[in-house]
Amino acid sequence: MFRRSLTSLTCTLALIFFAASGARSQTAQGGDLIIVLPFENTTNQREYNWIGTSFADSLTDLLQMYGLRAVSTDERELVFQRLRLPLTATPSHATAINIAMKAKATLAVIGTYDVVTPPDGKTPTEVRVSARVVRVNEGQIWPPYIFGDALINLQKMQGILAYQILHQRDSTLAYSRNEIVERATKIPPRAFESYVKGVMTDDREKRSNYLQNAMKEYAKTNAGANYPQAAFELGNLYFKQEDWKKAAEHFSRLQKGDPHFAEASFYAALSYWRMNDLKTALGALLPVTTDMPLTGIYNNAGALSIQAALGEKSAEERDRLLKQAQTFLERAKESDPEDAAVLYNYAYGLFLAGRHADAAEQLRSVIMLNPRDGEARFLYAKALEKSGATAEMTTAADNEARRYLPTTYAKMQTDWQKSQAIASIPVRLNQQFDIAEAVRAQAPLAAVDAASVTTQDLLVKARADYTAGRDDDVLSELNRVLMIEPMNAEAHLLIGRIYQRRGDLVRAISSLKTAIFWEAKLIDAHILLGRIFLERGDLAQAKTHARTAMQLDPNNQEAIALYRQLETGAR
């Protein structure tokens, strides 16, 4: 039972640890990658759903900050999208492991919580949480962390949970609990709550109000400082509404080192470009070109440099901008040699630099990728003309451009005939930040390789080997099962049977509890646990599992025999 009194979290936090060797893997800890899933709200008070998301995001940041590699929020959302899950979904245990495997995580944090709102209207609302860490590849579960405190202390709870996870994984942790809690509570509670509610709602007006309130509360407590996460989300909101000025203002508030800095810089540059402020657009994007080697960032930096060069009166500055454009676009080409927008912009820059034959070669590639690209065909015709191609080739290319530019060809051609200008032909900017590419650039995601045999094939052989007493072979086969499907309850049950047969009751209990965790109605696991606890003299635990087995199947003879044995006190 949770304590209902609202004393400090230090007093209410109850950690239930046991010494089962399966609770921590013997594999090298340094290579762990952890994913935190949104916690499940077990009450019917939907207005508190934001708490579950806040656990996922805050724990991810804290664990990453203190030395444990964590799957970022962006990575987690990508996996949700791949599995066609709503971003706000609270996954089942099996789905949580599937998500973790897709993210190639070795540890997964899952949890539930309920909210107690006292009827007197005076006592603070309390949050009560149960969290577990699963070692993904083995399917083993650490003992639960069970705690509760006032809602106002939510971030403190998250800081303490982060510390406990880090310390359980590595008892030599160099950071104190107070240090991690202090970091977790840097954002004022009201600002934090408003921010999480803001990012969770689809209502634009509510989202705007929540996020603006988050920024105000943050600034009020932190001497006018910026709340970068809230500023970023407001920037996104204004960008979608095509309010370029407000979008640019909020994206530009983020500084290097803030979460989403690269993405904010990308969209700030697009916002300034929409306002035809090319100098500021370039100023927003250039700082991230060295830190975030993404095709879209290089392409946009190159395209903006070209557009700035088109309007530059100084020949020296124009040449500098064109060289800058070529540098960025060459990097973009190296990153993605078949990106049509990159090849188009690269050819555009070559054309302006007077390298017409090279431009024509690049444009041929663009046209091969999209034969209906009228702008590329127009530039191609002019590049051929400038490079001295035959009149026949130039005319044929020009006719194709006219064909695919029914409404804009006349203006482009008029400008060309007047001054050999191509300024009316637009450069091409990526309009969307490629989160998947950003994730790959920082922490690649990889799906688990498909197994050459199915889990059912392995389980059939494992059952036969178990009956024949070949326990070592069984364990080898079941380990392969768990590599493919860590939540396979039957595999954990068989492992528990083997350890029980060997007399290693601690490991047997650990495996059998894991089996029940993945399949609560696994009657054989309850019966075996009842027998083990009876053998150890723990009658309370034995009776609990015996009663559960009877509830699952009142006619099961083994369950009946165990229950009678406990009722009569026989051994």
Count of residues in the chain: 571
What is the 8-class DSSP label of residue 144? Answer: P
Residue 484's nearest CA partner among 18, 97, 25 is: 97
Residue 100's nearest CA partner among 132, 128, 145 is: 132
* One domain, residues 166 and 108: yes
Contact 199, 173 (CB under 8 A): no
Residue 534's nearest CA partner among 544, 525, 524 is: 544
- Asked if the structure places residue 61 within a domain, the reply is yes
Residue 453's nearest CA partner among 428, 420, 476, 429 is: 476
User: What does the alpha-carbon distance between residue 400 and residue 366 come to, in Å, rounded to a whole number?
Assistant: 14
- Asked if the structure places residue 322 within a domain, the reply is yes
- Asked if the structure places residue 386 within a domain, the reply is yes
* One domain, residues 398 and 483: no
On the question of pLDDT at 24 being above 90, the answer is no
Residue 89, SS3? coil
- What sign results for the dihedral spanned by CA atoms 327, 330, 336, 338? positive
- Asked if the structure places residue 214 within a domain, the reply is no
When pLDDT is averaged across residues 165-185 and rounded to a whole number, the result is 89
* One domain, residues 467 and 387: no
DSSP string, 499-558: HHHHT-HHHHHHHHHHHHHH-TT-HHHHHHHHHHHHHHT-HHHHHHHHHHHHHH-TT-HH
Q: In sequence order, what are the residues at sequence separation of 6 or more whose Cβ sits closer than 8 angstroms to the Cβ of residue 512?
A: 492, 493, 496, 525, 528, 529, 532
Residue 427, SS3? coil
User: What's the pLDDT score for residue 569?
Assistant: 64
* One domain, residues 48 and 117: yes
Q: Residue 325 has which token pair?
A: 């454009």
Burial class of 377 by CB neighbour count within 10 A (0 to 12, 13 to 18, 19+) = buried
* One domain, residues 25 and 152: yes
* One domain, residues 423 and 463: no
- Asked if the structure places residue 73 within a domain, the reply is yes
User: What's the pLDDT score for residue 566?
Assistant: 85
DSSP-based helix, strand, coil % in the chain, nearest 5? 65, 5, 30
Most confident of 20-24, 210-214, 455-459, 463-467: 210-214
User: What's the pLDDT score for residue 105?
Assistant: 92
| Count of C-beta atoms within a 10 Å radius of residue 150 | 19
pLDDT tens digits along 225-238: 899 999 999 999 99
Q: Residue 93 has which token pair?
A: 């245990």
Q: In sequence order, what are the residues at sequence separation of 6 or more whose Cβ sits closer than 8 angstroms to the Cβ of residue 298?
A: 289, 328, 329, 331, 332, 335, 342
User: What's the pLDDT score for residue 445?
Assistant: 39
* One domain, residues 172 and 33: yes
User: What does the alpha-carbon distance between residue 51 and residue 155 come to, in Å, rounded to a whole number?
Assistant: 10
* One domain, residues 558 and 477: yes
User: What's the pLDDT score for residue 89?
Assistant: 73
When pLDDT is averaged across residues 517-530 and rounded to a whole number, the result is 88
**Structure-token match 């006032």, residue found:** 150
Choosing from 144, 166, 186, the residue where a domain stops is 186
**Structure-token match 């400090």, residue found:** 8
User: What's the pLDDT score for residue 502?
Assistant: 87
Q: Residue 382 has which token pair?
A: 């002019």
User: What's the pLDDT score for residue 440?
Assistant: 66
On the question of pLDDT at 22 being above 70, the answer is no
Choosing from 436, 466, 490, the residue where a domain stops is 436
When pLDDT is averaged across residues 541-563 and rounded to a whole number, the result is 90
Element (H, E) at 338: none
On the question of pLDDT at 504 being above 90, the answer is no
pLDDT tens digits along 348-398: 999 999 999 999 999 999 999 999 999 999 999 999 999 999 999 999 999
Contact 438, 78 (CB under 8 A): no
User: What's the pLDDT score for residue 6?
Assistant: 32
* One domain, residues 414 and 464: no
What is the 8-class DSSP label of residue 26? Answer: S
User: What's the pLDDT score for residue 271?
Assistant: 97
More confident residue, 484 or 75: 75
pLDDT tens digits along 435-464: 777 766 654 433 333 334 577 888 888 888
- Asked if the structure places residue 76 within a domain, the reply is yes
* One domain, residues 182 and 55: yes
User: What's the pLDDT score for residue 442?
Assistant: 59
Residue 107's nearest CA partner among 42, 59, 48 is: 59
**Structure-token match 């500023």, residue found:** 231
User: What does the alpha-carbon distance between residue 363 and residue 356 come to, in Å, rounded to a whole number?
Assistant: 10
User: What's the pLDDT score for residue 11?
Assistant: 36
* One domain, residues 61 and 170: yes
On the question of pLDDT at 10 being above 50, the answer is no
User: What's the pLDDT score for residue 439?
Assistant: 64
Residue 108's nearest CA partner among 163, 21, 39 is: 39
Q: Residue 119 has which token pair?
A: 């009827």
Start-to-end Cα distance in the chain: 31
Most confident of 134-138, 240-244, 293-297, 565-569: 240-244
Domain residue limits at 515: 455-568
Percent of the chain with pLDDT over 70: 91
Radius of gyration of the chain (CA): 31
User: What's the pLDDT score for residue 396?
Assistant: 95
Contact 522, 493 (CB under 8 A): yes
On the question of pLDDT at 465 being above 80, the answer is yes
Q: Residue 331 has which token pair?
A: 């990097």
Contact 142, 135 (CB under 8 A): yes
- Asked if the structure places residue 557 within a domain, the reply is yes
Burial class of 506 by CB neighbour count within 10 A (0 to 12, 13 to 18, 19+) = middle
Choosing from 406, 436, 466, the residue where a domain stops is 436
Most confident of 64-73, 146-155, 288-297, 480-489: 146-155
On the question of pLDDT at 484 being above 50, the answer is yes
pTM to 2 decimal places: 0.66
Domain count, the chain: 3
Mean pLDDT of the chain: 85
- Asked if the structure places residue 249 within a domain, the reply is no
DSSP string, 387-435: TT--HHHHHHHHHHHHHH-TTTHHHHHHHHHHHS--TTSPP----S--H
Percent of the chain with pLDDT over 90: 50
**Structure-token match 């993945």, residue found:** 518
CATH of residue 176's domain is 3.40.50.10610
CATH of residue 349's domain is 1.25.40.10
Contact 505, 535 (CB under 8 A): yes
* One domain, residues 53 and 180: yes
User: What's the pLDDT score for residue 559?
Assistant: 87
User: What does the alpha-carbon distance between residue 266 and residue 287 come to, in Å, rounded to a whole number?
Assistant: 10
- What sign results for the dihedral spanned by CA atoms 17, 62, 200, 117? positive
